[in-house]
Amino acid sequence: MKLLDKLLCVLVLSVGAVVSPVQAAEALRLDSAPVRLDNASLQNGAKLFVNYCLNCHGASFLRYNRLTQIGLTEEQIKDNLMFSADKVGEQMKVALRREDAKQWFGVAPPDLTLVARARASESGTGADWLYTYLRGFYRDDTRPTGWNNVVFPNVGMPHALWSLQGEQEARFVTKDDGHGKQVRQLEKLEITKPGLLMPEEYDAQVADLVSFIVWMGEPAQATRRGLGWLVLAALSVLAVLTYLLKRAYWKDVH
């Protein structure tokens, strides 16, 4: 067994020596997402999600009536956010068939209910990934959709928010990774055709959209955090009482 362990260690180290430098050189730093979980931001994010994402991506682990938790009435939900459902108790699904989506895009668009949690990594939170991704599309005539992404190279998804952001051009530079290999790194993204929003306005809209997707993954997180503080307060009181009990119990013991 010791010999086998040594061989496995050598194999792992050998693979790491070959793969790690290239991956480190190609890694993209994620921008920190300004997640805001207040009702105004979440309501705006819900509007953006329904109008720009829910056409292809579902959120089937969430029901429309959950949106009452962010300050919306059932009437507002029915009038403004429900386009492919009849009852507020239904799941946020899309009418797009997976077979058609796979034929058109090469792969069926994933459900986004838990994407913020699934994309968390050592590079950053899932919110950071989404925030950088939605601001990282650029024009690429070699791609079938005409779009590419600096976070998700050769992505099959077109830029759904291009009318808001405009069109970007990506500039890359080729650098030595320090191990004799040439890798391509992003130098900068530059707006070539302005959209309906200024860059800072677009970033704010994306922040609200990402905030809603984060909330969608765990609608009860605000309640959970509130209960957490109550539990800590209760434990603190118990700790004081325990200390006082200990002093009273041992006061006559020398």
Domain ranges across the chain: 22-245
**Using the 8-state DSSP alphabet, how is residue 121 labeled?**
B
CB within 8 A of 46, min separation 6: which ones? 67, 70, 72, 81, 212
HSE, side-chain direction, 13 A CA sphere, residue 237: 5
Higher pLDDT pick, 22 / 244: 244
CA separation for the pair 83, 55 (Å, rounded) = 9
**Bridge partners of 173?**
185
- What are the tens digits of pLDDT across the range 166-182? 999 999 888 877 787 88
pTM for this one? 0.79
Decide which of 14 and 59 is more confident: 59
Residue type, position 52, single letter: Y
Q: Which residues pair with 189 in a beta bridge?
A: 170
Q: pLDDT per residue over 18-57, tens digit each?
A: 333 333 334 578 999 999 999 999 999 999 999 999 989 9
Q: CA–CA separation, 116 vs 49, rounded Å?
A: 14
Give the model confidence (pLDDT) of 96-153 as tens digits: 888 888 888 778 899 999 999 999 999 999 999 999 999 999 999 999 999 999 999 9
22-245 under CATH 1.10.760.10, yes or no:
yes
User: Looking at residue 174, what is its pLDDT?
Assistant: 86
pLDDT at position 254: 60
Model confidence at 161: pLDDT above 70: yes
Q: Count the helix, strand and coil residues of the chain and give each as a percent rounded to the nearest 5.
A: 50, 15, 35
CA-to-CA distance for 59 and 209, rounded, in angstroms? 14
- Output the CA–CA distances (angstroms, integers) from residue 20 to 150, 151, 173, 178, 186, in the order listed: 19, 18, 20, 12, 19
